[in-house]
Chains A and B, each alone.
Chain A
Amino acid sequence: MSISKSDVERVARLARIGIEPHEAERYSIDLSNILTLVEQMNKIDTEGIQPMAHPQDIQLRLRDDEVKEVNKRDQFQAIAPAVKQGLYLVPKVLD
Chain B
Amino acid sequence: MPHRQSLSALNRMLATGGISSTEITTHFLDRIEQNQQLNAFVSVDREQTLAQAQQADHSRRNERNSNLKGLPVALKDIFCTQDLLTSCGSRILSNFVSPYDATVVERLDKDGFIVLGKTNMDEFAMGSSNESSYFGPVLNPWNTARVPGGSSGGSAAAVSARLAPAAIGTDTGGSIRQPAAFCGLTGLKPSYGRISRYGMVAYASSLDQAGPITQSAEDAALLLQTMAGFDSRDSTSLDTAVPDYLSALNTGLENVRLGIPKEFLDPSIDAEVLSAIETALEEFEKLGAKLVDIELPNSSAGIAAYYVIAPAEASSNLSKFDGVRYGHRTAEFSDLLDMYEKSRAEGFGDEVKRRILIGTYALSAGYYDAYYLKAQKVRRIIANDFSQAFKQCDLIAGPTTPSTAFPLGENLDDPVSMYLNDVFTVPVNLAGLPAISLPVGFDQSGLPIGLQLIGPYLKEANILSAAHSYQKVTDWHQRIPGDYE
Please provide the chain A residues from 1 to 48 with a CB less than 8 Å away from any CB of chain B in the complex. 3, 7-8, 11-12, 14-19, 27, 30-31, 33-44, 46
- Indicate if A52 sits at the interface (CB-CB under 8 A): yes
Chain A residues touching B, majority SS: loop
Measured CA separation A3–B357 after assembly (Å):
11
- Indicate if A67 sits at the interface (CB-CB under 8 A): no
CB distance from A5 to the nearest CB of B (A): 12
Interface size on A, residues (CB 8 A): 51
Please provide the chain B residues from 192 to 250 with a CB less than 8 Å away from any CB of chain A in the complex. 192-193, 206, 232, 235-236, 238-239
- Indicate if A86 sits at the interface (CB-CB under 8 A): no
Do B376 and A53 touch (CB < 8 A)?
Answer: yes
Q: How large is the interface on B (under 10, 10 to 19, 20 to 34, 35 or more residues)?
A: 35 or more
Do B325 and A76 touch (CB < 8 A)?
Answer: yes
- Indicate if B76 sits at the interface (CB-CB under 8 A): no
Do A41 and B345 touch (CB < 8 A)?
Answer: no
Measured CA separation A55–B207 after assembly (Å):
8
Assess A52 versus B329: contact at CB under 8 Å? Given A11-B357, A63-B232, A91-B335: no
Chain B residues touching A, majority SS: helix
CB distance from B21 to the nearest CB of A (A): 29
Measured CA separation A42–B373 after assembly (Å):
12
CB distance from A73 to the nearest CB of B (A): 10
CB distance from B350 to the nearest CB of A (A): 9
Chain A's closest residue to B363 (CB) is A14
CB distance from A46 to the nearest CB of B (A): 4
Do A93 and B336 touch (CB < 8 A)?
Answer: yes
Do A37 and B419 touch (CB < 8 A)?
Answer: yes
In the complex, which residues of chain B have a beta carbon less than 8 angstroms from the beta carbon of A40?
300-301, 303-304
User: Interface with A: B149-157, B257-265, B281-289, B377-385, which one?
Assistant: B377-385
Measured CA separation A18–B338 after assembly (Å):
8
Measured CA separation A50–B384 after assembly (Å):
11
Measured CA separation A52–B378 after assembly (Å):
8
Do A91 and B333 touch (CB < 8 A)?
Answer: yes
- Indicate if B46 sits at the interface (CB-CB under 8 A): no
CB distance from B309 to the nearest CB of A (A): 9
- Indicate if B41 sits at the interface (CB-CB under 8 A): no
User: Interface with A: B175-183, B315-323, B469-477, which one?
Assistant: B315-323
Measured CA separation A19–B416 after assembly (Å):
21
CB distance from B326 to the nearest CB of A (A): 5
* Among all A-B residue pairs, the 3 with the closest Cβ atoms: A55-B432, A51-B376, A18-B341
Beyond A27-B354, A49-B381, 7 additional pairs, beta carbon < 8 A: A17-B345, A18-B341, A40-B301, A41-B375, A50-B380, A60-B235, A61-B239
* Chain A residues within 8 Å of B, Cβ to Cβ: 3, 7-8, 11-12, 14-19, 27, 30-31, 33-44, 46, 49-56, 60-61, 63, 72, 75-76, 78-82, 88, 90-93
* Chain B residues within 8 Å of A, Cβ to Cβ: 95-97, 99-100, 191-193, 206, 232, 235-236, 238-239, 298, 300-301, 303-305, 307-308, 315, 319, 322-329, 333-342, 344-345, 348, 353-354, 356-358, 360-362, 364, 371, 373-381, 383, 414-416, 419, 430-432, 457
